Structure formats: structure tokens, C-alpha cells
Structure 1
Amino acid sequence: MSQAPDPTIHTLSEFLLHAGTNFQFFDLGRGVHPLDTQLFLDLENGLRPCPRPRQQHAWFAIVFWSEGQKPNHYIWFVKFPIDERGLLVAAARNHFLQIIVDALGQSLGEEKHDTLPDNPYSFVPTQSQMALFSAVTKSCLSLPFNDGVKEVEHYVNAPAISDWRKLSVQSIADFAQTLRDETTCHTVAQNMALYHEDFTRILLESAEAVSLPTAFKQHCAQYCADTFSSSPALALAALRALSSEQADTISQTLLNTLLDSKHADIHVLSVIAGRHYGQLSGHRLIQFFERAAALDEDESMEGKLFAGFFSDLVQLPCLRAEVLGVLRSTERSEVLARAFGHLFSQTQKK
């Protein structure tokens, strides 16, 4: 028999408060972003659109713990559908809340924390996503990093006498959190050519969640431009390292170059849409759609590639008005006009 929830509990935030836990929310839609408790409550109550939706869903991690000498931290990874306005579908959240109450009751005993039953809202991050999330969580909650961070530091400082193969993905991701420090970044930039490509790729991908010093951002931008022909995977990793939701001149200059080049394939466009959406405004947004439309025609995708990027970016609250404004832009080329025509013809057929 289902246990009736407390009539005063209407949200996950209230449930966690009622259970006597401390908690921290993270947005995992596009990268890993800590969320203010009030903001998450506003999202739950449909007062604000979800800021970083992906695939018509909002993706969250909920970390919670009870006070103690050595508190255990527990994690739920959940995704909820959003409506056409970008608001969380309350019925889905309510369903998940009922599942929790049925399975755990209205208190969170130590043995129950991580034993959620199967449900349609939970998801399992990839290994790289989990490593990045774990690193950001430790930094955010002032928890100790992986023991292997010291070994990563040794390799960073002296790659010729250290074995990168002994380094775990988690240790590298944890070390990337130290790239806020200018001295550390200077060492990485100096020695980057000596690192194994796999190490460099993981380190740069993990740096996407860090606010990097300006000098290191400039190094990453140059490294990205220089390596696209010889090592596209490293160039993409450097592009991810420059991720920023705020307007950033270094990133914008790089994007201008990439979007006008043959290097802007589907992988580059995906990283730009997923991590550099904050740089897409005005002419640069038109550049992006121009390239998506041209690539769609070149690859004979019959409008699917363009439609995918359009539907992805139009969901973002920070871009929705500008994306819709591109429809009326006088800067549109013939290829972009054809792409929009195809998009609307397909929409009308549905």
C-alpha cells in the first residue's frame, strides 16, 4: 500500500528538509553546475524555466547527507521532462516524490539512502560525466580529493619520469579542479607537449567545470586552433576546457574562426551548442546555424541535423528569443533559408 505523503510536502526540497538532511543540487544538463537551493525550489514550483535543458529534459544530481563525524554522502541522479515553456513537468516530479515516499517512507535512514527502486526518472552518468561530477562535488562541498591527485601532480610537473598509465580518470578530474591556480596552469601549459594525448584529453575535458585564468584560456584557445588538423580529439577537449556561460572574448574569437572553417563538423557544433551557448548571440548565432545548415546539406541529412540543433538551442531560456529572431534575420543566406523552409515543412507534416 502506498504511504500517503505528508500534506505539507510538495517538493523534493521539502522532502529532504523534512528528512533532516543537508543537501546540494546540481544541474547536469550541460556540464556540471551547482544550483542554489532557492533556484531549485523555484524550478520545482514552475516559477522559472530550467536553465540548461537537454533532449526535452532537465537533468539533476541531488547530493544529501546527515550531520556526523564522518557523514556519508548519497546521490540521486534524476531527469524530468519539461514542457514547451521550459518549465518542469510537475506531474513527473510528483510521481518521483511518491516513489520515494513509497520506498523510503518520510525519513531517510542510513540503510535506505541509495536504495531507490527502479523508476523512469533515474539515470546513470557515463564514466567521464561521473568523474567530472565527483570532482566538482568535492570542490563545492570541501571534501577531500582522490588520493591519486598527488601522482597526477607528479606527472604534470615531470612527465618524463612519471607513468601516466597509473593515473585514474577520477584523479585527473580531481586535479583539474586545481587549474584555478595560475602557477599550476603555467606548469601545465609549459609541459603540455610532453604529456600523453590521452592524459591531455582527459585533463582538458575535466577543466570545463573550472574558471580558468586568462593566460591559460589563451593557451587553450591557441592549442585548439593548432591541433584540429593533427588531433581533432585534443582540439575538441581544448574547446571544452574553454566552456563558459558568460560572454568571453577569448572563446568568441576562437568560435568565429572555427565556424568559418572546415573544422566545424558535427562534433564541433555539438560542443559549441552544449558548452558555449553563452557565446552564441547576434551574428555568431547566425554563423552557427549557417554552418549547421551547410553541413546538413553536405552530409545529405535531409534537415535532421539542422532541426536537431535548432530544437536544442531554442529550448534554452537564455537563447530562445534570439533563436526565434534568426527566423526574421535579414542576414540569412540561401542555405539557411532552405534549412528553415525544410524545418517548417517537416513540422507541418507532423
Structure 2
Amino acid sequence: MSANSINSISEFLLHAGTEYQVFDLGRRLEATDNQTFLEIENGSAYAPYPRQQHAWFGIVFWNKNASTQHYIWFVKLPLDEQGLVVTAARNHFLEIITDALGQSVAEDTQKAETLPDNPYSFVPNQSQLAQFNALVKNKLNQPLSEEAQKVEAYIQAPQLVDWQQIPMQSVADFVHSFNTHPKRDVLEKAITSNISLYSDVFLNTLMEMSESVSLPKGLVAMYLSEIDKNDDINLAALRGTSDATFNPAINSKLLDLLKDEKSLRLDILSVIAARHYEQMEPLVLSAFLEQSAVVDEKEAHNGTLFAGFFSDLVQIPKLRRLVLTLLRSDAHSHVLGSAFKQLFVQARK
């Protein structure tokens, strides 16, 4: 097999005799059907969850006729200004894998996961990797870690279980199986009732592992109350309230937060941009960009911080029109207007 005989990553995997499942690791962890992935990698469909001008994927593949072994590639592909995959980069990655592997994937050898160094592979951080593993198990009907039962036990009786014996992966496994759990209602009630009894470390891990899971209203409300419960902002709670659809309660909370000086921090703005794009109707979008402009000026970034957030959000298909409409509007504050003018100045350089 050579790079000249295949035209996509999808085709390579099929020709190599594997079955595969693709997961988007951009702004959310989401399973992506194979046809959609093919259209995205071919540049005929927009990457739905772009991050840092790239599309991020975890590709799980296996040859069920050879063994039960599953392999994973973590691949990031650069996007053009419109948010479409740069196919020349995709083709370069194809050349790398075909030169390195030939047909060894079909032979089910360990070489399948050990690609040579290349600019398209990445390693997820510990939190994202735990969530990814949990999602893969859930999607492929694989068994959860045995330690997930300890999570359930601790949630119901925190006084009787040592939370320090519960690994992050087990919390992720529990969260990703929560919506189909036979005792979901009982566990939800236990979480809201026992919240004051949980270790801060455990509670923050629970909330962080929830950032790509649709939660019941009761848990969403609890997480929202944790965001600014104290003087500081709880980033885990802010991440955990991420939702795949517009949620009025989350939207309202974000609008209040973005009107507060507490949100004048890069880490807070980064979480909102990365996890709460679904809540960015015109009011929240405008408030977010205004806070970004204030932080940029306050920390003397000379427009680079604001430009980074702007270019990041404008590549999201659902936000592109809103962002460009706001850019062309005259109905915004002096601070935001100045930031937009600086964008045009930078664009001309």
C-alpha cells in the first residue's frame, strides 16, 4: 500500500482491514460517525468543534479477526480560515503513516500505535484522557473499571469510603455511565444531599469529568451554584456545566459572571470560550469579547489575547455569523470597538 493508492485516513483504515470509531476531542468529547469524519478530513464539511485552529480526533481501530486489541491515534489537523481541514496537511499525515506502517495494521502488530514523530499527533492531558477512555468504553460497550463501584459507594456514604483510593479514571467511568445507570435518580439525590460532605478534590474531579456529559437539571443547578460559591471562581464547576445545547440557566449564569470583575482572568475566559460556545447568543458573546478586550488591555497583550479569542470563536460553525455580525456592528462599547479596530490594523500588517 502506498500514499498514492489511498486518498483519506478513512480509506487507509478500511484498506488495512480494520473497523474504527472516531471521537472528536475539540471543544467537547463526542463520537463522530465515519461518514462525517470522512467529509471533515476531505475538507467538504466544517470541523464542528475546532480548537486553536485545529480539528482534534481520537481514532480507535481494531481488527476483530486478529485479536481483541484496540489501537488509538490522537490526530490534530490544521484548519484554514473558514474552518475546513487543510487537505495538504491530511495528505502529509497519510504519507507518514503509509511509509511507516504499510499494511501492518491489518497484521495487528504493535507498530500500529507507534507512529514516527510527526506534527499531527498529540497526547491528551490526564483529564481529557480519562474522559476519552470512559467515552470509548461506553460507546464500544466495554466494561468499566472495577473502581467505579467505589465512586458510587463514596457518593452515597462519603463517611465510610476513603476518597483517596478512587482514581480519576473511575470517576470518569462513573460519570459517563451515569445517564444509563439503573440507580440514577437515587445517585443524583445522594450527590445533591451529600455535597458538603465530599472532599473538595473529589467534588472538583466529579465536576470536571462531567464537561462532555448531559446532566440532569438537578446536577446542573448544583454545579452552577458551585461556580462562584466562594470569593474565587471554581473552574471545575465552570467546566462541568458545559452543555451540548443552549441552556437558559447556564446562559444566565455566564452573563452574570461576565459582568463581574471576577471573570477578568485569562483562565476563566479560556474555559468559557472552550466549553460554553453553545451559550454564546449575542449578549453573552458580546460580554465575553468585551471582558477579553479588558484583560488584553489590563495585562498589556497589545491585542494578541483578544485576537486569539476572536480567531478561535470565529472558526466555530455555529458562531461564525454571530461573531462577524458583531464585528461589523456599531452597537458596542468603546473598549470592544477599540479592540475590533486593532484587529483590522493587525490584519493589514
On whether the aligned pair clears a TM of 0.5, the verdict is yes
The alignment's TM-score, normalised by the length of structure 2, stands at 0.93
Deviation of the 1:329 alpha carbon: 2.2
Q: Report the equivalent of 2:275.
A: 275
Q: Which residue of 2 aligns with 1:315?
A: 315
List structure 1 segments (4+ residues) > 6 angstroms apart after TM superposition: none
Give the whole-Å Cα distance in 2 for the aligned partners of 1:14 and 1:225: 48
Aligned to 1:333: 333
**Given that residues 255 and 283 in structure 2 are in contact (C-alpha distance below 8 angstroms), is that contact kept between their aligned partners in structure 1?**
no
Aligned-pair CA distance for 1:107:
4.8
Whole-angstrom CA distance in 2 between matches of 1:136 and 1:4 = 33
Tell me if the contact between 1:245 and 1:279 (Cα under 8 Å) persists in the aligned partners.
no
The RMSD of aligned alpha carbons is 1.7
Q: Give the structure 2 partner of residue 247 of structure 1.
A: 246
Aligned length: 342
Q: Which residue in 2 is equivalent to 1:172? A: 171
For the residues of structure 2 that align with 1:19 and 1:157, how far apart are their CA atoms?
47
Contact 1:178/1:184, CA 8 A, preserved across alignment:
no
Q: Does 1:211 align with 2:214?
A: yes
In 1, Cα distance between equivalents of 2:134 and 2:262: 31
Distance 2:112 2:185 in 1: 39
Cα deviation 1:225-276 (Å, max 9, x = unaligned): 324x1x53xx221121111231111211111111111221222211111011
Structure 2 counterpart of 1:190, from 183, 193, 198: 193
What's the counterpart of residue 2 of structure 2?
Answer: 4
Where in structure 2 are there 5+ consecutive unaligned residues?
none
Q: CA deviation at 1:70?
A: 6.4
Give yes or no for contact 1:18–1:107 (8 Å, CA) kept in 2: no
Q: Name the CA distance, whole Å, in 1 between partners of 2:130 and 2:170.
A: 8
Aligned to 1:247, the other structure's residue is in SS state coil
AA paired with 1:279?
A: Q
Which residue is 2:229 aligned to?
226
Look up the match of 2:69.
72
Q: How does 1:97-116 map to 2 (within 5 A)?
A: 97-108=94-105, 109-111=107-109, 112-116=111-115
Query: Shift of residue 115 of structure 1?
Result: 2.2
Distance 2:191 2:205 in 1: 13
Counterpart residue identity of residue 217, structure 2: T
1:143 is matched with 142
d(CA) in 2 for partners of 1:297 and 1:179?
A: 43
Measure the CA separation in 2 of the matches of 1:4 and 1:20: 15
Matched, 1:36 2:39: no
**Residue 182 of structure 1 contacts residue 213 of structure 1 at CA under 8 Å; is this kept in 2?**
no
In structure 2, C-alpha distance between the alignment counterparts of 1:296 and 1:5, rounded to whole Å: 45
- SS of 1:61's equivalent in the other structure is strand
The one-letter code matched in structure 2 to 1:261 is D
Which amino acid in the other structure matches residue 188 of structure 2? C
Are 2:78 and 1:81 equivalent residues in the alignment? yes
Structure 1 equivalent of residue 152 of structure 2 = 153
